[in-house]
Homo-oligomer: A and B are copies of this chain.
Amino acid sequence: MISFASDYIAGAHPQVLKRLVETNLEPLPGYGEDPYCAAAKEKIRAACGCPQAQVELLTGGTQTNQIVISTLLRDHEGVVAAKTGHVSTHEAGAVEHAGHKVLELPQTGGKLRADTLREYIESFYGDENHEHMVFPGMVYISHPTEFGTLYTKAELEELAKVCRSCSMPLYLDGARLGYGLMSGESDLTLEDIARLCDVFYIGGTKVGALCGEAVVFTRNNRPAHFVNAIKKRGALLAKGRLLGVQFDALFTDGLYFELSRHAMEMARELKALFHEKGVKFYLESPTNQQFVILSSDRIEELKQNVTFSFWEKYDARHTVIRFCTSWSTTPEDLAYLRSVL
């Protein structure tokens, strides 16, 4: 069945898979010590315009968030995030499992505003009892956010300024980073992100890879013995080549950006299609996730023909559902959706 259920419905981009096939029988060292990992890291540094960056390859998003956050936080600290942040809601408490609190702040369209953060910090340090509280130790944002929205360059600069002013690392979860960068409605480049964030990750799982996220530490701030930290958290792949070969392919000849651009074209057509059909938007995002409101009857009917995902109840008779495009969405998928909507 045609599916818009998520941006991870297909395997890897064919060019990525091709490279896995081509390199399959080469004998290589394990644990990320192979030349493909090295090449991938070098290409990512170049794409970020950040030659001194330290790049590490991990397998999935929750894993990446858990490892980055738990190794960067100090004992007395928690991570600040929007209440709707992925780490706050849909990671089964992975950060708390690692011993740290997620300090949840109000959000605006899925985003954490710099003034919300600033007021919270001031209030925290103004509280005479704060030594008995969890200290804000780093800031987590997702870009695109869980609602598909995007920070502007000005917003990210403002957030980074607040973070720097109190020596908190700013961490950007880029599970869908490619789709954000290629959105057309974003004024942020990958170089901007590398310049403004202390650490971020470039999502592979949702953007062309079978699995894999590339963490970029931009300030020579990778925790010491990071390989050991990954290993003790059960996240070190014996065949690190699986990640190295994929990211090497994604960052060769701009494939990562090209496939992201395709997904965004499909997203724009999807939006146009919803407008054309008079479907009501819950949230008309500038990226690859579109949230629309349909009646329960309509949803039941549509389910017979295409796959999408439940988001939340809207009212007694309506539900918010999410449609995703991705690198694997085709014009034919959209034509089919038009025919059944």
Seen from chain A, the residues whose Cβ lies within 8 Å of a Cβ on chain B are 1-3, 5-6, 8-12, 14, 17, 20-21, 23-31, 59-67, 71, 74-76, 78, 89-94, 96-102, 104, 126-129, 131-135, 205-206, 210-211, 223-225, 227-229, 231-239, 241-242, 307, 309-310, 312-313, 328
Contacts and interface: CB of A to CB of B under 8 A. Distances in A.
Contact of A3 (B27, B67, B134, B310): B27
B94 A233 contact: yes
Nearest to A333: B27
A171 B263 CA distance: 45
Nearest to A78: B93
A contacts with B: majority SS = loop
Contacts of A75: 71, 223, 225, 228-229, 232
A20 B14 CA distance: 11
B239 A92 contact: no
A241 B60 CA distance: 14
Contacts of A241: 11
A239 B66 CA distance: 19
Contacts of A228: 75-76, 92, 131-132, 135
B67 A234 contact: yes
B89 A237 contact: no
A222 to B, nearest CB: 12
Contacts of A10: 24-28
Contacts of A206: 238
A65 to B, nearest CB: 8
A92 B67 contact: no
12 contacts: A6-B238, A20-B20, A60-B237, A62-B234, A75-B228, A78-B93, A93-B101, A94-B233, A96-B96, A96-B134, A131-B227, A234-B235
Contacts of A235: 60, 63, 234-235
A246 to B, nearest CB: 10
B89 A133 contact: yes
B224 A74 contact: yes
Given A126-B313, A210-B239, 10 more contacts: A11-B25, A25-B328, A60-B235, A61-B238, A75-B229, A92-B228, A92-B232, A96-B100, A97-B233, A234-B235
Nearest to A13: B24
B328 A93 contact: no
A270 to B, nearest CB: 15
Contacts of A90: 129, 132-133
A34 B310 CA distance: 18
Given A90-B133, A231-B92, A238 B60 contact: yes
B100 A27 contact: no
A152 to B, nearest CB: 28
B307 A27 contact: yes
Given A93-B100, A132-B91, A225-B75, A5 B27 contact: yes
Nearest to A58: B234
A283 to B, nearest CB: 17
Contacts of A2: 27
